[in-house]
Amino acid sequence: MKRLFKILAVLFVSAALYFAWLFFAPASAYEGTNPYLYIRTGAADKEAVLQLLKDSSLIKHTGAFEWLGNRLNIWQKLRPGKYEISKSESVFSLVRKLRNNRQVQVNLVITKLRTKKDLAQLVGKKFETSANSFLDYVNNPDSIKKFGLDTSTIMSLVIPDTYAYYWSTTPARILQKLQQQHQKFWTAERKNKAAALGLTPEQVYTLASIVEEETLRNDEKPLISSVYVNRLRKNMYLGADPTVKFAVGDFTLKRIYFGHINSTASNPYNTYKNKGLPPGPICTPQAVTIDAVLNTKPSNYLFFCAKPNGNGYHAFAENETEHFKNAKAYQDWLNANKIQ
């Protein structure tokens, strides 16, 4: 009898150790960096997740996962998302992670973008939604009217920054967070400065996008802005080369020729042929550039062109005679350096 008791005790301890190992020991089945379990929208159910785990071979013991999942009732609590599986991940910890919806956040890092397509491609690489789906959303007037913008101005929501989302976030929710940051940025003080210039926040953003494309020198941006503000007030053509690049769709152009201007004459973004600001921004300007426009430096300048030394600064002029002299010096420098 004593021998039988010992055998049963050993069997009991062995079984306990086995189940402890099965449920609490590392169960990840991969080498290298931590992978992710992606549960897609519409597939957050028992059958789909079990099949996903089997097909991906992310963890060992999918049978144990199913058994424990049944007892902890995780199937009604599953949510679409991106879940990290660490090297030390156990069956128990993964079940709890899914039950408690402990997703990994996805950082959307926005710096300088030029078009809605650029933003869509960035989103498509980071989130469940595809680039095409996001682009369709921002190009749909009915979808974006809730943001008080149109398909030309929708990019003015974007204040370059890092935004944290869940992987399964919808296009609408992505824009909503951008709008929240946009609203924080546009304080009463900034709105008052825009009004003092005779511009709306969206118009300031559009003008800042042109200034952003004109120079990398932050200390020069308020003066470049003054040229465009002066031109707007005199009802002159802005004549901004970056807007022609945008109209052409070739952002690698280093020189703008009459052919580029004439071939895009009917394009509303061509500010050599259309007065006023373009319909929307031509890039996503930095906050410092938006503030440079809001703090436009008073001047009488109506013209500027790059200085012929390649240092990124510009020569300013109040009249055409002075400007043509500056422009010729720059063109001669370009030709001498064989810059096309």
What's the 3-state SS for 242-263? HHHHHHHCCCCCCCCCHHHHHH
For position 24, what pLDDT does the model report? 57
For the chain, list residues with pLDDT below 50: 4-5, 8-18, 20-21
Instruction: Give per-residue pLDDT as tens, 278-310.
Output: 999 999 999 999 999 999 999 999 999 989 887
Instruction: Give per-residue pLDDT as tens, 162-216.
Output: 999 999 999 999 999 999 999 999 999 999 999 999 999 999 999 999 999 999 9
The domain 18-99 having CATH identifier 3.30.1490: the answer here is yes
Is residue 219 within 8 A of residue 252, CB to CB? The reply is no
Q: Tokens representing 157? A: 């929501």
Q: Choose among 263, 216, 266, 214: nearest CA to 240.
A: 214
Residues pairing with 105 in the sheet: 166
Contact residues for 267 (Cβ-Cβ < 8 A; gap 6+): 247, 273, 274
Q: Tokens representing 79? A: 């949510």
Q: Tokens representing 95? A: 């079940």
Is residue 253 within 8 A of residue 171, CB to CB? The reply is no
pTM comes to 0.89
For position 26, what pLDDT does the model report? 67
For position 10, what pLDDT does the model report? 45
Q: Tokens representing 62? A: 């999918």
Q: Tokens representing 313? A: 């600064």
d(CA 167, CA 165): 6
Residues pairing with 165 in the sheet: 106
Domain ranges of the chain: 18-99, 105-185, 190-299
For position 63, what pLDDT does the model report? 86
For position 64, what pLDDT does the model report? 85
Enumerate helices (H) and strands (E) in the chain, giving the number of each. Answer: 15, 6
For position 156, what pLDDT does the model report? 97
Q: Choose among 237, 180, 179: nearest CA to 210.
A: 237
